[in-house]
Amino acid sequence: MKNNYKEIYDRIAKLQCALQKHSIDAAIIAQKIDLFYFTGTLQQGLLFVSNEGEPLLFVKRDFDRAKIESPLKYIYNLKSMNNLPQFLNEHNYKTQTIAFELDVIPYNLYRRYSAIFPNAHFVDLSTEIRKIRMIKSKTEIEKIKKSGELIEESFLELKKNIRIGMKEIDIACELEYLARKKGHMGLVRMRAFNQEMFFGHILSGTSGLLTSYVESPTAGEGQGAFFSQGAGDRVVKENEPLSIDFVFCYEGYLVDMTRIFYAGEPSKEYRNIYNVAKEIHQTIVENALPGITCNEIYLKTLNIVSKHKLEDIFMGPKGKQAPYIGHGVGLELDELPVLAKNIDDKIEENTVFALEPKFFIPEVGIAGIENTYLMTDKGVLLLTKYSDDIQIII
């Protein structure tokens, strides 16, 4: 029995429970990360999960590899999708209502499935799937913790090498290399359409104030219009903040962390604003318990921001402010929960999320801290332990 046997079948059971709750006959899982989550393999194909009984994995490529990687009992070589309904029918599976990941499945692929199952009614189960994935297992948490350790090690080494006069892009190259050598998988996966990320955002001074197409409070100048986010050619100068927002990915599992490096002595004003970000983290660490809602965390944060009269520069330059203060992380960077106003989803035990209160100081740059936390039965546990002081560099 493969060592991920119980893990995978537990996930399937949660999916079946969601299907039963919504009176849906079955789910078809086709997006690669959901497939990996529910089967243990990324191999091309589809997973058919009836609301009870054994799930069936149909693999187009690579079948042999899927059999090695996945602990599922029934794995078939998928020659043609057209035979699927007959096969399912012969095995007495119902397919009148089929749940599908309609947030990510391209329209043409949807049409293909609906032609193959002409009598089926397809319903969107993507939010339920994302909510299942939001609660991490022990194994997942171990990997995320390891990711947190490795990002700390990477930053410790990086700090020795950052100097005034370096370009953002050169710091990015060093950090990427350090991270890869420590086991960073390379890719940073995102679920949302049109979103993408390459390791993170290394932004000096005012380049931290530039927003772009990426759904992140920061973006930076990037290398050009062809990739308008992340490190650019701007040179790190004295007396301005250098914000390093980086994602580590160990064995598929992400953590997200931002730290401020500073060449010179930050002004009192800068330190005061920076300390508000610290105060926000401290308040959440001291107060958040399982069951707290996203909205409650958001309001606690906004209270602190308002107390210091910093609303205008919070989570983006004035007029371009992001409507959230954090997000779930796991196999993808944009997982649930979304820490935003009026989102009443509860943060239960074993949820992992990044909290990123950041201030956008005109003509200066970013002041803020991002950490990834695990919600435990006793409250939140910090997974990105690298010092949250301003990192003075020379």
Of residues 217 and 357, the one with the C-beta less far from its own copies: 217
The number of angstroms, rounded, from the C-alpha of 184 to the middle of its chain's C-alpha atoms is 15
What residues from 356 to 385 belong to the interface with its own copies (CB under 8 A)? none
- Shorter beta-carbon distance to its own copies: residue 209 or 292: 209
Is 384 in contact with 144 (CB distance < 8 Å)? no
Q: Which stretch binds its own copies (CB under 8 A): 144-152, 221-229, 343-351, 383-391?
A: 221-229
- The least distance separating its own copies from the CB of residue 177, rounded to whole angstroms, comes to 5
Query: For residues 104 and 285, which CB has a smaller minimum distance to its own copies in the complex?
Result: 104
For residue 60, how many other CB atoms are within 10 A of its CB?
A: 15
**Contact (CB, 8 A) for 166 and 235:** yes
Instruction: Count CB neighbours of 110 within 10 A.
Output: 15
- For residue 110, state whether it binds its own copies (rule: CB under 8 A): yes
Beta partners for 126?
A: none
Cis peptide before 118 (omega within 30 of 0): no
Q: In sequence order, what are the residues at sequence separation of 6 or more whose Cβ sits closer than 8 angstroms to the Cβ of residue 160?
A: none
DSSP letter at 234 equals: P
Residue 368 CB: number of other CB atoms within 10 A? Answer: 27
- Closer by beta carbon to its own copies, 42 or else 343: 42
**Residue from 196, 265, 269, 389 that binds its own copies (CB under 8 A)?**
196
Under the binding rule (CB under 8 A), the answer on residue 274 touching its own copies is: no
Angle at 355 between CA 267 and CA 312, to 5 degrees: 50
Least separation in angstroms between residue 226's CB and its own copies is 3
Taking CB under 8 A as the rule, does residue 320 contact its own copies?
yes
| Binding positions for its own copies, rule: CB under 8 A | 30-32, 36, 40-44, 61-62, 65, 69, 100, 102-111, 124, 126, 169-170, 172-173, 176-177, 180-181, 185-187, 189, 193-194, 196, 198-199, 210-213, 219, 223-228, 230, 251-252, 320, 331
